[in-house]
A and B are shown apart, each in its own frame.
Chain A
Amino acid sequence: MTAPRDKFGRPVVVVTGMGIMTSLGAGKADNWAKLVAGESGIRTITRFPVEGLKTTMAGTVDFVSVDPFSSTGLSERMAEIVTQEALEQAGIGAKADFPGPLFLAVAPVEVEWPQRRELGRAVGAQDFNYDDLLRISGGGKYSAYHHRFMFGSVAAHLAETFGTKGSPISLSTACASGATSIQLGVEAIRRGETDAALCVATDGTVNPEALVRFSLLSALSTQNDPPQAASRPFSKNRDGFVMAEGAGALVLESYEAATARGAKILGVIAGCGELTDSFHRTRSSPDGKPIIGCMNKTLADAGMTPDQIDHINAHGTATPENDKMEFNTTSAVFGELAQKIPVTSNKSMVGHTISAAGAVEAIFSLLTLEHQRIPPTINYETPDPTILFNVVGNTARDARVTAVMSNSFGFGGQNASLILTREPA
């Protein structure tokens, strides 16, 4: 019997394992229950002092302990937990022996303030400069910090823990990173390089400097009170995104390999697309062409037409510009259907998990397909009259969902979209 291939003759890529963590909790069951109940994971930050900050809330993952704490350490720990969940569900390979490569979306890594402060204290003087810091950095006392703050450290740890094959790839396409990690896995399977790929995305970077950086770019919501109401995608009074932490892991396999080993198929990655916007470092081209092109490429990659998409899991950051741009570009691609297809933004509840968002939202999309129920966009009290999406506002909606488009757009002109389906087309 020939292997099931898509209409372009490529191996069909299916999902056989998923693991997820957000500010709502750990695991698919907990996240899904809270998501469809319309619960928010956004809360006032307690991890560090918030005095002097304009934004004092975030979707932090506070129930995972890391010692000594670092954002990169938290990213790594979350990635490990969600990978474990995904592998248990997939039942693939053996312990510490995953039969394929790792593609990891991870936030850029750098030495963080707790470690920098430790160094400052170790100088033991009141006045010093960077040369003094440099002088005391060597000698082996801080060798663990070298490893911790290598960009490749999280991927190396996961690769060694789970026995993935070959060179693990750490990638960043800003807020589209999670989608890119999935796309890299899909491509590797389609090229026939591997039967399986582990795609993981993680972000644990709610720390003072990260918050300040986004704040200085006026990207964050400052509606701190109550924090649960801060993230307001598609609302007239939206004022920015809410930083959040989370992770998602997907086991991708060729349909042939998955069925051969009797694996349960959770969904299909039917199409992926990406397109660069060279207009501006943080803003989209005003004509929306790169985003329109990205969605069109994704439809073409899936061999589908807009009328076959019956749900859109929006990027929906709740920044004034993004949501408007997303409606305009979606309208350009979907025509009047853009006002009929149910649209939701998971970010209303879990916030913007940045590097993890593409994978987190792909998993929520797959759970939507499984449960035939669309999670709500909460805080949708005052719809923006210029955004005519059919928003699934405030309460979850049962719906027949066969194909979901999930969008991710990021700084640096990064646009990526995925189409997820229940069954092979």
Chain B
Amino acid sequence: MTDTASKPGQTEVWITGIGLATSLGEGLDANWAALQEKRINVDEKGFAPYIVHPLMPVSFDSQIPKKGDQRQMEAWQRIGTYAAGLALDSAGIKGNKDILSKIDMVVAAGGGERDLNVDTGVLTAEAKGANAPGFLNERLMSDLRPTLFLAQLSNLLAGNIAIVHGLGGTSRTFMGEEVAGADAARIALARIASGESDIALVGGSHNGERKDLLVLYEFGDFNLKDKFAPVWARKDHAGFALGSAGAFLVLESRAHAEARGAKPFAKLSSVVADLARRKQPGDTAATLEKLWAKLPKREGKGAIITGATGAEPATSEERGFLKGHADFPVRSTGTMFGHTMETQFPLGIALAALSISRGALFPPNDSTGTEIEMQGAPTQIVVVGAGHWRGEGMALVEAVG
């Protein structure tokens, strides 16, 4: 029940769990080590000329013990259900029925992969002259796996997480590419800060190793081709390299965390988001500046972790915005993890919290000078996300005082 005695913003919200399964590895240590070593995992051949960041193989059995559950999911759901399990483990609430029965889930999701054989089978048969009125219907009725639909439905990522990990609170799925990840964190934070919720699982997952997605983004010429380069070095070779990743966070009111003795990685102080019209040059940069001004005052040792995609003109606009805040060392998750779409913003929050808890920002990986070294421990990290087409979000992650 809502406690209206506490005013919005009064309750401190902690990040008490992080789950990562990415192209760099699974778990916090493996990802942190890869970041320290500036190790990037790209596949330049499997989808050539397109470049993707493939998932580092994981043993799904450890988080999704029933093979039957695994079979009911496509890769994006398995990655997400796996990462969600890691987050619950990290927060120390895996299997804790009291907490899991009330946890609120806000998931940022796209959709599941298509059966490429069915699609090409229909199209080539039509190219060869199949033109009976019911041809498509008959092929779909006979060729589609009955449960494939459930592996494609956006809200079934949350559904699978609930089933596999026994979550029985509430469940909301936000769609809308990159900014869905920011909005998921924004709404979960608002609900906890206002007392509507005590604890929430927030995040997303993405399978970047999908030709149907490459087709979708190729419509807009957004895919990075031929040769990998860091996000900031793509100005004359624009585009994003899709990445596979699951990133989940456990957000919790300070009181709830303290009552169960949970330690925070960091606190999530603010999440803001907007929709620039992007009709005129400068619209995106102006919106990022507006969001920056909305965040609480930055007085500590700050840094920026951005999900800049490498797509233009959004990335150039963002570079302009970053130049105005050159005293903040910048790190790009797009360079290291690829573009994981709905997952990029939760991934940014996760890495911000991890950096704060480990007392160091991970090293730069950039030849253009946009990313500079940082000495000392960051106490405030701004997470930035400007969608490749629409949507802008920003979050402030801070050390717990």
Q: How far is the CA of A253 from the CA of B111 in the complex (A)?
A: 33
**Is A51 interfacial (CB-CB < 8 Å)?**
yes
What sequence of 0s and 1s flags, for each residue 300-328 of chain A, a beta carbon within 8 Å of any chain B beta carbon? 11000000000000000000000000000
Chain B residues within an 8 Å CB radius of A131: 211
Stretch of B147-155, B251-259, B315-323, B372-380 that contacts chain A? B147-155
Is B219 in contact with A279, judged by CB distance below 8 angstroms? Answer: no
Q: How far is the CB of A110 from chain B (nearest CB, A)?
A: 6
| Interface positions of A from 259 to 283, Cβ below 8 Å from B | 274-282
Chain A residues within an 8 Å CB radius of B221: 138-140, 143
A151-B111, A152-B390, A173-B173 given; A159·B72 CB < 8 A: no
**Is A170 interfacial (CB-CB < 8 Å)?**
yes
Chain B residues within an 8 Å CB radius of A152: 175-177, 179-180, 387, 389-391
Is B219 in contact with A116, judged by CB distance below 8 angstroms? Answer: no
Q: How far is the CA of A39 from the CA of B66 in the complex (A)?
A: 48
Q: How far is the CA of A8 from the CA of B194 in the complex (A)?
A: 13
Stretch of A13-21, A118-126, A241-249, A341-349 that contacts chain B? A118-126
Stretch of B22-30, B132-140, B300-308, B331-339 that contacts chain A? B132-140
Q: Which residue of A lies closest to B214 (CB)?
A: A134
Q: Which residue of B lies closest to A190 (CB)?
A: B2
Q: How far is the CA of A114 from the CA of B120 in the complex (A)?
A: 14
Q: How far is the CA of A347 from the CA of B212 in the complex (A)?
A: 35
Stretch of B51-59, B123-131, B230-238 that contacts chain A? B123-131
**Is B168 interfacial (CB-CB < 8 Å)?**
yes
Q: How far is the CB of B100 from chain A (nearest CB, A)?
A: 9
Q: How far is the CA of A92 from the CA of B190 in the complex (A)?
A: 26
Q: How far is the CA of A193 from the CA of B110 in the complex (A)?
A: 27
A49-B133, A123-B127, A134-B211 given; A282·B216 CB < 8 A: no
Q: How far is the CB of A408 from chain B (nearest CB, A)?
A: 13
Chain B residues within an 8 Å CB radius of A217: 146-147, 149-150
Q: How far is the CA of A254 from the CA of B182 in the complex (A)?
A: 26
Is A156 in contact with B275, judged by CB distance below 8 angstroms? Answer: yes
Chain A interface, number of residues (Cβ within 8 angstroms)? 90
**Is A155 interfacial (CB-CB < 8 Å)?**
yes
| Interface positions of A from 94 to 138, Cβ below 8 Å from B | 106, 108-111, 113, 116-117, 119-121, 123, 125-131, 133-134, 137-138
Q: Which residue of A lies closest to B342 (CB)?
A: A151
**Is A32 interfacial (CB-CB < 8 Å)?**
no
Q: Which residue of B lies closest to A166 (CB)?
A: B274
A146-B219, A276-B167 given; A130·B211 CB < 8 A: yes
A130-B120, A413-B163 given; A137·B391 CB < 8 A: no
Chain A residues within an 8 Å CB radius of B248: none
**Is A142 interfacial (CB-CB < 8 Å)?**
yes
Q: How far is the CA of A106 from the CA of B154 in the complex (A)?
A: 11
Is A52 in contact with B196, judged by CB distance below 8 angstroms? Answer: no
Q: Which residue of B lies closest to A164 (CB)?
A: B275
A142-B219, A172-B155 given; A281·B160 CB < 8 A: yes
**Is B370 interfacial (CB-CB < 8 Å)?**
no
Q: How far is the CA of A116 from the CA of B120 in the complex (A)?
A: 10
What sequence of 0s and 1s flags, for each residue 146-168 of chain A, a beta carbon within 8 Å of any chain B beta carbon? 11011111011001100000111
Q: Which residue of B lies closest to A152 (CB)?
A: B176
Which of B133, B156, B390 is within 8 Å of A412, CB to CB? B156
Q: How far is the CA of A282 from the CA of B166 in the complex (A)?
A: 16
A49-B137, A53-B137, A134-B215 given; A171·B172 CB < 8 A: yes
Q: How far is the CA of A414 from the CA of B169 in the complex (A)?
A: 10
Q: How far is the CA of A140 from the CA of B222 in the complex (A)?
A: 10
Is B170 in contact with A215, judged by CB distance below 8 angstroms? Answer: no
Which of A128, A169, A276, A280 is within 8 Å of B127, CB to CB? A128
15 A-B pairs within 8 Å (CB atoms) are namely A120-B126, A123-B127, A131-B211, A133-B215, A134-B50, A134-B215, A146-B389, A167-B275, A170-B180, A216-B149, A217-B149, A274-B170, A277-B168, A281-B156, A412-B153
Extra contacts, 7 of them, besides A116-B119, A166-B275 (Cβ < 8 A), are A50-B134, A108-B111, A152-B180, A184-B172, A275-B170, A412-B156, A413-B159
Contacts from B to A (Cβ < 8 Å): 1-2, 4-5, 8, 50, 72, 105, 109-111, 114, 116, 119-120, 123-124, 126-128, 132-138, 140-141, 144, 146-150, 152-156, 158-160, 162-163, 166-177, 179-180, 182-183, 186-187, 190-191, 194, 196, 211-212, 214-223, 273-275, 277, 387, 389-393
